[in-house]
Amino acid sequence: MSATLWRGQTIRRRADIQRTLIERDHGPFATALYGALWLLRWALWAALMGLWGLVYVPPVGAVVALLIVTGLVLGPWGVSVIAALAAGGAWAWARWSPGTWARYLVRRGERFWRRLRYRWVWDDVMAACGIKATDAAHRIVVPRLVWVGLGDHVDVLTVQLCPGVTLDTIAAQADGLRSEWAALDVRVTRHPRVRTWGLLRVVLHDTLAEQQHHARNRVDLTRLPIGRREDGEPWALRLLGRHLLVAGASGAGKGSIVTALLWALSPAIADGWVRVIGVDPKGGMEFGMYPELLHMFAWRSEAELVAALEHAAALTMARCESLQGRTRLHRPTIDDPFHIIVVDEIASLTSYIVDRALKERGRVALGTLLSKGRAAGFSVVGLVQDPRKEVLELRNLFTVKVGLRLDSRNEVAMVLGDSAHDRGARCEDIDLDTPGVAYVVDDEDRREPIKVRADFHDDAGMRWLATEYASPTHEGVPELVTKQRDTKRPDKRTDAS
């Protein structure tokens, strides 16, 4: 059997290369029989879809079943009474409990209609958007729609690729698919298990337009709730064994990421098994609103900023030596806490310091933290506005990358990776009125970009948090150790002869 029967589906043949067939008149009886079979086929399909719809929307199915039973037992008058009661009950339900009305009736009806629409127009949409291939027999083949996963905000379509069509082919036509399905966005991702399949995430509603807050619960460094995803689920950030890079233009919401992170960590900070070292090159304007949450706060001078980084790097090396031969991943305790080094504008330490020696020391300390800190219980959270390579040379050492609103497609590639934009991470299209909206890529989990929005906490809320959940330990920034260069030059010996 041909492989094309298993991968993709043929939708038509080219008429100009098919063999010429001599059509014979089979008579009126055969024509009528063919028409009756065609009508029977579509009537059977409509009956099955109607039955499926009644099962998918239980309130409608229950009313229809009751009407049928009543009609068989009591006749037309009984049907009229039940229909009137059902209409009155529906009106009362929608008026007095609109939430359950929308949940069990309206939304389920909309989802069932979307399922029928995807199936009905799939072949035509694929062909119209150019997502097709032609095989050796000149048959036009399109990807096969395997499964439709419906949600309140995002639909996930499982697609089987056909020969000649790749995920990049579908991603290039995402705008056409978005327009056809009246969606906000369509993003193409890889299937987690089957290599010849793909996933189409059809975003229908913008759940990130309004700000929300998450309650503080038990702190889990592998799942910190700091916002929500576009499908309405919580955005759970893994910080244990990760470094976080947050890049965005001015006003894009980099501060929202930090405050949401501290909000989620506050119980652990107050208990003492998480310590935060704040490095603020802006003179304390960012972290000065909540210094009580910080175990160490560096902001006065460039030398103090570098001293804080070197102190954290020294702690990292000491812990690596203590963990040698015992474990591969540090487990935080009060006596051996987890350290988070938050650098507000990381480019100020790697590129903008005038003193070359001081800049090099800061770069070396940051490199030590990024290369050796993950397993030792040290996580770096770096914020940057200019993601160019010459500004941030160490960006590839960050395992979790967050792209807020950026200025161009090239900057998206610099932050999230070369193919992130083609997979739907359009950071340059994020609205100016939605700070905190970003795309996230985790290099060690799923490299597919996920659209999220961080929770917003104002200055008053952060000052309250700093008062109620202050760190039990505070340490001053140590003095920067002056490293003197060896100025002794080798003696110049001359040959007397």
Q: Enumerate long-range contacts of 363-366, CB under 8 Å, 24 or more apart.
A: 363/393, 363/394, 364/313, 365/306, 365/309, 365/310, 365/312, 365/313, 366/309, 366/313, 366/394
Angle at 121 between CA 40 and CA 185, to 5 degrees: 155
Binding residues for ATP: 248-255
- The residues facing 244 across adjacent strands are 381, 400
Query: In terms of Cα–Cα distance, which of 371, 421, 419, 378 is closest to 398?
Result: 371
Nearest-angstrom CA–CA distance, 352 and 414: 19
The answer to whether the CB of 280 falls within 8 A of the CB of 287 is: yes
DSSP 180-225: HTT-SEEEEEE-SS-TTEEEEEEE-S-TTSS-------S--TTSEE
- The residues facing 197 across adjacent strands are 160
The answer to whether the CB of 475 falls within 8 A of the CB of 304 is: no
Binding residues: 248-255
Region label for 238, one of left (φ > 0), alpha (ψ between -120 and 50) or beta (otherwise): beta
